[in-house]
Structures are given as C-alpha cells and as structure tokens.
Amino acid sequence: MNTAQQRNETCEHLLATGEALCLQRGFTGMGLNELLSIAQVPKGSFYYYFRSKEAFGVALLERYFVQYIAQIEQQLSGDEVPAAQRILNHFATAEALFRQKGHIVGCLGVKLSAEVCDLSEPMRDALQRGAEGVMRAYARTLKQAQLQGANWHLSAEEMAQMLYVFWSGASLQSKISRDPQPLSLALKTFGQWLDQH
C-alpha cells in the first residue's frame, strides 16, 4: 500500500469512527481524545488531516451527505415505477426502518442540525449544502412525475423543499417521541400531495 492510499484510509477511518460516535453522543459530546482512542490514531495524525474539531465536523457532514445523496439517487432511479411512487417509496422505506428499529437510523443531518447550527457557521453551511443536494435529487424526480402527468400548483423545486422540510420536522419529532406517528403522518400527507393528476 502506498503512502497516499494509507493516508486516505486513515482519514476515512477517522471520519467513519467520528460519524458512529456523533450518532451516539452528538458532536459536542464526542471528545477528541475518545475519538482518537477508539480509532487508534495519534493526535498528530488527526491534525494532519483536520486543522480543528470544527473542520473535522465539516468534513464529517460533507462525507455523510455525499453518501446519503448517492443512496437517495439510487432509490429514486429507474423507469419501471412511476416517479411520484419512487419518491413515496423512498420515504416509506425510512418510515419502515424507524418502525423496525425504534429510532432514526444513521441520519447525521437530523442528529446534528439543531445542535451545531448556532455553534459553527462552517458546519451550518455544510448542513445547508447537504440539504440543497437532497432537495435537488427530489426535484429531478418530481420533474419526471410532472412529465408523467402529476399536476401541482408548485414547481418541482418548491415541492422538493416542502417534502424535505416536512420530513425533517417529522423526523425530529419522531426522534423526540420515539414514536413513528409523525413519520407516518408525513408519509400519508405526501401521498395526498403527490396523488394529483
């Protein structure tokens, strides 16, 4: 293994370990010494990749959203299912996972959004860029739905924003209550919104 590949693997290992810790404890609850101890990486190596814990947080969010958006795009791809149904299936999968596990699974955006927005402007920016990427993925599929006959009084971009905002709020409330009902209500509402021809 060459040095550059080893460095990339160390950086990825730090980020993957950090994501797991943040999902358990939040960003402020994740101590740097704890991260380095669990990852078995010396402090000097951490500062080789990240100038600060805040910079690590930005990289953590950017990595998360790249992976999350790729997952969404895969779920929304394909022409065998109508586009509006693909959107609904995407949200139904998340709601079913909550019912199965009893909590929001692996959603760093929900976990960190309220926590870091007032603490770190660069992390807030990373969250906003990630949200915009998710909404663009939704909007592309919603445009396909419109071409297939769906008729809303909103643009695809506006509908994508409504879906994202509504689902984010429902996710946060389900997280607080540990109850799938807010997600189920959001899913039912989306079904009504998207079933307009």
* Domain covering 1-49 assigned CATH 1.10.10 in the classification: yes
For the chain, the first-to-last Cα distance in angstroms comes to 56
Q: Across residues 48-62, what is the average pLDDT?
A: 94
Mean pLDDT of 72-85: 93
CA atoms within 13 A on the CB side of 92: 11
Percent of the chain with pLDDT over 70: 93
CATH class of the domain defined by 54-194: mainly alpha
pLDDT at residue number 50: 94
pLDDT of residue 43 exceeding 60: yes
Mean local confidence (pLDDT), 47-53 = 93
Q: Phi first, then psi: what are they for 26, rounded to 5°?
A: 85, 170
C-alpha pair distances (Å), 52 with each of 102, 120, 169: 34, 12, 30
Phi then psi for residue 2, to 5 deg, are -80, 165
What is the C-alpha to C-alpha distance for residues 77 and 53, in angstroms, rounded to an integer?
Answer: 36
Average pLDDT over the chain, rounded to an integer: 90
- Over the stretch 123-167, which tens digit does the pLDDT of each residue have? 999 999 999 999 999 999 999 999 998 888 899 999 999 999 999
CB atoms within 10 A of CB 65: 21
Query: What are the boundaries of each domain within the chain?
Result: 1-49, 54-194
Cβ proximity of 18 and 35 under 8 Å: yes
Per-residue model confidence as pLDDT tens digits over 81-134: 999 999 999 999 999 998 888 776 668 888 888 788 888 999 999 999 999 999
